Structure 1
Amino acid sequence: MESWSPLGAHVVDVLFAGLARRARLFTNGWGDEQLLEKVEVGTSFLPEPARVSPVWGEARPHRGTWLRDGTFTSPLPLLAPPVQTAHVRWLSAENTRGRSACVVLAASREEGYVLRERLYTPLVREGIDLFLLENPYYGVRRPLGQKGGALRTVSDHVLMNLGMVEEARALLTWLRDAGYARLGIAGYSMGGYMAALTAVLFPGPLAVAALAAGASPVPVFTRGLLSWSISFAQLDGARRDAEQARQRLGRIFDLANLTKFPPPRQPGAAILLACRKDGFVPAAETRTLHAHWKKSELRWVNAGHVSAILTERTALCAAVRDSLARVAPHSQQSA
């Protein structure tokens, strides 16, 4: 593995990580050991995307777009009742369906829809309908007793990731059946990684915009700035062996390493965007994913992981727009 240190990160990344570490991750330890043992044997994705029927509220004007909020029951039965209802926001340019649809997943600790609306609303005005999913365990889906987006156990985080994939696959299947010509999935940071994982597990071509994401989440959680939010000695319990806890966390998260899966059906419709001064995601991980997804495009922005959200909206929107332009229309996929 290429040597990497977050010390060369953008100053905004370092400041953000310093503030975020006040809300520690995994303060209640590993959590459900039976679940962790199960995923350590093999990942637990459903063999096919589930069928869901979202229930949509009335459309209403919202900042120059039309907005509908919807819900459906998560296809992941392991989620506790407060977490089990999936929430999704649908943004469109008119009070009708657009030409293309893109599901946009949330980043780590990103609760609600405000950030994604701010970043990607220009695409809506171009005729791209956006579907913003609320992550399990975030926002209105927090379990009782959880404060903010700091998940209390590792098993909660595993369930969140499984839920993100299954809910995105199910929603994409509903969108395909609803008649959208082009379908895509996108996300930033954890959202970008989970978007990529969803794409490789979806049974048809998808546009993919994996933004500030890499092939494996392991270095993000064990060596990058996000690791500042984890007390590894506390995670290991009575033994207080921080390195042992770090290695176990890495083994669990590496089970979903994207290089262990085939590329998506149409890798030429995948755009990867990396930040040159990223203190959370090592550049080597994005290069590894690009090499594994032959024909994908790798783009760079001269920013940090956090600062890119503030300064690179044009580049982020362009990655989503261009990936959708490259994916085969649904009519051609069915031919």
Structure 2
Amino acid sequence: MVTAKVGLLHYVLDHVYGAFVHRTRLSTPFFSRGWGGSKLELLETVIKQLFPDLARQNWPPKVIHPTWRTVWETKNSCLREGVFKTPCSEQLMQALPPESRNARIAFLTPKSMSPQNMACVVHLAGTGDHTFERRLRLGGPLLKQNIATMVLESPFYGQRRPVLQRGAKLLCVSDLLLLGSATIEEARSLLHWLDIEVGFGKTGVCGLSMGGVHAAMVGSLHPTPIATLPFLSPHSAVVAFCEGILKHATAWDVLRADGSMQQASMTLEEVRERMRSVLSLTDVTRFPVPKNPEAVIFVGATNDGYIPKHSVLELQKAWPGSEVRWVTGGHVSSFLLHNNEFRRAIVDALDRLPWKESPL
């Protein structure tokens, strides 16, 4: 009885937080400028190329050349920040706003041993995570276990946010797909750089919420086994924007009017059906099974108002051999209270990978 009441409290907290952040007049809704026109059509084509045949993927990715500055350094660890030109195709580069065309990263590393005897995990951003700080706090304690942290700032976020965009509220539906496409290409290039240029013995990718969806895609598309850790993540953006709390933060009337400019007047239900169709491109269950599904650990929340349980379980079902772990809480409370569980999952997933053989 007590457990049920606690679970309900976490669920209610998600809805209270969602109402405050997404449903007040002071808050701009998602997609306040519509679908995105020709950009959306371009991105639908690009994303369809990501699956289902991994053999068709461009690998290795474009070489990146980060420019670094040291933020701080101690006897045992070092934090650097870097910038590199996004390795996206020219089509995607032109679709990105100018502010988003250079990727920003933070790289937190231990100094105790050579990279070939260490692991590194790339941390991807959840919705609204504009800075490096939260993910650096998540990865920081892992330095003691010789696990480095690479944090990628997403396009449309932080210093890569377009001038006209308020907070995390993307202006067009096409921006969501563009954000995801660019993040995947940048993360894949970073993993390749960590593997080939730096020489880490193991690598992985993790993310929370939206970042978890992107992490799952990256882990799916990577040609060699890596640890893949989606936290509090749906199997598709359809769940977040059409089923969860974010459906109340979406400018449905704007999308309806924008869609009606291209065809006969649309009903609200037709608009939502079109949204489901577009966002079905983000369905991770349609992506290839990762090379080592045993190194995939999903962490879901028992009372998540944003991400229902069935969505997490659909991912596990699509990737036999993967593991789901549950933390007690909602989306917001788990984000705040369960970092130790996320860290434990990172360590366990990396432990399920073999060490890369050292070159002779």
Cα shift at 1:50:
2.3
Looking at structure 1, the residues matched to 228 and 83 of structure 2 have their Cα atoms a distance apart, in angstroms, of 24
Residues 1:254 and 2:280 are matched in the alignment: yes
Residues 240-251 of structure 1: matches in 2 within 5 Å?
A: 241-251=267-277
What is the aligned partner in structure 2 of residue 51 from structure 1? 63
Cα shift at 1:117:
2.0
> SS of the residue aligned with 2:321?
coil
Looking at structure 2, the residues matched to 182 and 24 of structure 1 have their Cα atoms a distance apart, in angstroms, of 40
Looking at structure 1, the residues matched to 246 and 114 of structure 2 have their Cα atoms a distance apart, in angstroms, of 38
Q: 1:321 aligns with which of 309, 327, 347?
A: 347
What is the aligned partner in structure 1 of residue 29 from structure 2? 24
Looking at structure 2, the residues matched to 166 and 44 of structure 1 have their Cα atoms a distance apart, in angstroms, of 13
What is the aligned partner in structure 2 of residue 201 from structure 1? 221
Cα shift at 1:8:
8.8
What is the aligned partner in structure 1 of residue 110 from structure 2? 93
Normalising by structure 1, what TM-score? 0.91
CA separation of 1:271 and 1:295: change in aligned 2, threshold 3 A: same
What is the aligned partner in structure 2 of residue 3 from structure 1? none
Cα shift at 1:242:
2.3
CA separation of 1:97 and 1:115: change in aligned 2, threshold 3 A: farther
Looking at structure 2, the residues matched to 91 and 128 of structure 1 have their Cα atoms a distance apart, in angstroms, of 9
> SS of the residue aligned with 2:156?
coil
> Rg bigger for which structure?
2
Cα shift at 1:124:
2.2
CA separation of 1:229 and 1:40: change in aligned 2, threshold 3 A: same
Number of equivalent positions: 327
What is the aligned partner in structure 2 of residue 310 from structure 1? 336
> SS of the residue aligned with 1:140?
helix
> SS of the residue aligned with 2:225?
coil
CA separation of 1:79 and 1:300: change in aligned 2, threshold 3 A: same
What is the aligned partner in structure 2 of residue 163 from structure 1? 182
What is the aligned partner in structure 2 of residue 150 from structure 1? 169
> SS of the residue aligned with 2:145?
coil
CA separation of 1:254 and 1:8: change in aligned 2, threshold 3 A: farther
Tell me the alpha carbon deviations over residues 116-140 of structure 1, each in whole angstroms, 9 at most, x when there is no partner: 1223321123211100000000000
Cα shift at 1:39:
3.7
Normalising by structure 2, what TM-score? 0.85
What is the aligned partner in structure 2 of residue 191 from structure 1? 211
Contact kept, 8 Å, 1:176 with 1:330, in 2: the verdict is no
> SS of the residue aligned with 1:259?
helix
Segments ≥4 residues shifted beyond 4 Å:
95-98
Tell me the alpha carbon deviations over residues 174-219 of structure 1, each in whole angstroms, 9 at most, x when there is no partner: 0001210000000111111110001111111110111111322212
CA separation of 1:11 and 1:57: change in aligned 2, threshold 3 A: same
Q: 1:38 aligns with which of 32, 35, 42?
A: 42
> SS of the residue aligned with 2:129?
coil
CA separation of 1:96 and 1:329: change in aligned 2, threshold 3 A: closer
Structure 2: 5+ residue stretches without partners = 1-7, 51-56
Cα shift at 1:9:
6.1
Cα shift at 1:97:
5.7
CA separation of 1:35 and 1:330: change in aligned 2, threshold 3 A: farther
What is the aligned partner in structure 2 of residue 74 from structure 1? 86
Residues 1:141 and 2:155 are matched in the alignment: no
Structure 1: 5+ residue stretches without partners = 1-6
Contact kept, 8 Å, 2:234 with 2:240, in 1: the verdict is no
CA separation of 1:95 and 1:141: change in aligned 2, threshold 3 A: farther
Q: 2:306 aligns with which of 274, 280, 290?
A: 280
Residues 1:113 and 2:132 are matched in the alignment: yes
| AA aligned opposite 2:184 | V
RMSD: 2.3
